[in-house]
Chains A and B, each alone.
Chain A
Amino acid sequence: MPDPTRRQRLLSVLGKVTTAQIPSDDSESLFESGLLDSFALPDLVAAIEEEFSIKVPDRDLNPRKFDSVARIEAYLEEHGA
């Protein structure tokens, strides 16, 4: 279920990791849009862990899980964050 507060916190995390414009379409790839590169992704995962007080296990360190705002939201929801 969409959670406006969670989404806002996620956008805030993305804003800390990159200065680029966040896509208006939540399903747009953050990598293909150029928002994130291979070295910003580990920063994003670390920032998500801190903001939402979760631990992303190594088996979940799959770029596809963090490819868009929608996918990250789905991951957070799945993990009760």
Chain B
Amino acid sequence: MPAFLHAFGAHVPERIVTNEEIGARVGKAPAWIESVSGIRERRWAAEDTSVVDLAVACAQDCLRNAGAEASSLGMIIVASGSGARGFPGPAAAVAAQLGLEGTPALDVPMASAGSLFGLAIAAKMADTFGDVLVIGAEKMSALFDIHPEGASKLDANTAVLFGDGAGAALVSARPQLDANKRCWEILDAALHTDGQFREDLAWDGSSALRMNGLSVILQASRKIPAAISEVLARQNVAACDVQVFLLHQANQNLLVRVAKALGVAPEKVFSNVARYGNTSSASMLIAAAEWASRNPPSGDIVFGAFGAGFHWGALLARSR
């Protein structure tokens, strides 16, 4: 059965943390931060704001954009690498705050690639369970402190890169939720995992996030274009014919590299990493929400992500 993308939503905290502010805290020059990442600022949530709060806010935005009510949902999927360790995961609380009783809520505890995996899962579930709301929500700012029990000291290598936020997408087996709105049909997805590098990007739930940036960039530079090419080849679509690539917003230099590997202009890869930094599993759907707010369905769009695990993949959708 086919599945369709009907709407996106996004939410970012109000507080803007500039390169000047974070640079002063961790001893890095603002210009250096921008040159190595393309990031100029990011959003950080207040201490009392949780992953669940961010997720609920973007869910409501997505439902508004879709003209749908939470009560119409058949399932929700919440992807988050920064949700509190232990159980239950954030999905149950998100469902409760949306007023859902009895609707299945699935956690995908996966950083960066979680929302992509969520979309692919939703595409298979929508026919059975009904409309699926996929959410990626992250509070990465809670993972930088290398002395969480003592005086605060941020890890310079990660604090400059990551931000907080949430994105959402509504997936349905029905091609039309609203007679006046077009949508995108999900045509294909490729998902992959290679656990041999799982220690190169990890968070244990108590100490600071650990990242081997050399390994992450080396792997991502090859695997993101490979996954996109895999899906495009299966569907006989040329990269140059894709309207836009909506990718995990890890680093502007990586986005440019992926465009080059695919043989497309950098402008075809949507980017908002300069304003939000790397919001992990939230970033791809925040990017989709921003892009879709100005671009109604009118062509092929490609999603792609790579993250801790390593997990990575791509998904192709076509306007209907």
A63 touches B212 (CB 8 A): yes
Q: Does B213 contact A (CB under 8 A)?
A: yes
Which listed residue (B197, B212, B221) contacts A42, Cβ 8 A? B221
Which of A10-18, A20-28, A31-39, A70-78 makes up part of the contact surface? A31-39
**B213–A38 CB distance below 8 A:** yes
Closest Cβ neighbor of B194 among chain A residues: A58
Number of chain A residues close to chain B: CB under 8 A: 12
The answer on a CB contact under 8 Å between B217 and A42 is yes
Give which listed residue, B36, B218, B253, contacts A61 with CB less than 8 A.
B218
Q: Contact at A38–B214, with CB atoms within 8 Å?
A: yes
The answer to whether A41 and B36 touch across the interface, beta carbons within 8 angstroms, is no
Q: Check if A19 is an interface residue, CB within 8 A of chain B.
A: no
- The CA-CA distance from A1 to B218 in the complex, in Å, is 28
Question: CA–CA, A39 to B35, complex, Å?
Answer: 12
Q: Give per-residue flags for B211-239: 1 if the beta carbon is below 8 A from chain A beta carbons, else 0.
A: 01111111101110000000000000000
CA distance A42 to B224 in the complex (A): 13
Residues of A within 8 A of B217 (CB): 38-39, 41-42
Q: Does A79 contact B (CB under 8 A)?
A: no
Chain B residue, CB-CB nearest to A31: B214
Contact of B36 among A37, A45, A62 (CB under 8 A): A37
Q: A38-B218, A41-B217, A42-B257 are in contact. Are A58 and B36 (CB under 8 A)?
A: no
Distance in angstroms from B207 CB to nearest chain A CB is 22
**Of all chain A residues, which has the CB nearest B212?**
A63
Chain A residues lying within 8 Å of B152, measured Cβ to Cβ, are none
The reply to whether A42 and B196 form a contact with Cβ atoms under 8 Å apart is: no
Which residues of chain B have C-beta atoms less than 8 A from A58's C-beta?
194, 219, 222-223
Q: How far is the CB of A64 from chain B (nearest CB, A)?
A: 9
The docked-state distance in angstroms from the alpha carbon of A63 to that of B219 is 10
Contact of B215 among A39, A59, A62 (CB under 8 A): A62
Task: Identify the 10 closest CB pairs spanning chains A and B, nearest first.
Answer: A63-B214, A38-B217, A42-B221, A38-B213, A38-B214, A61-B218, A39-B253, A41-B218, A63-B215, A42-B218
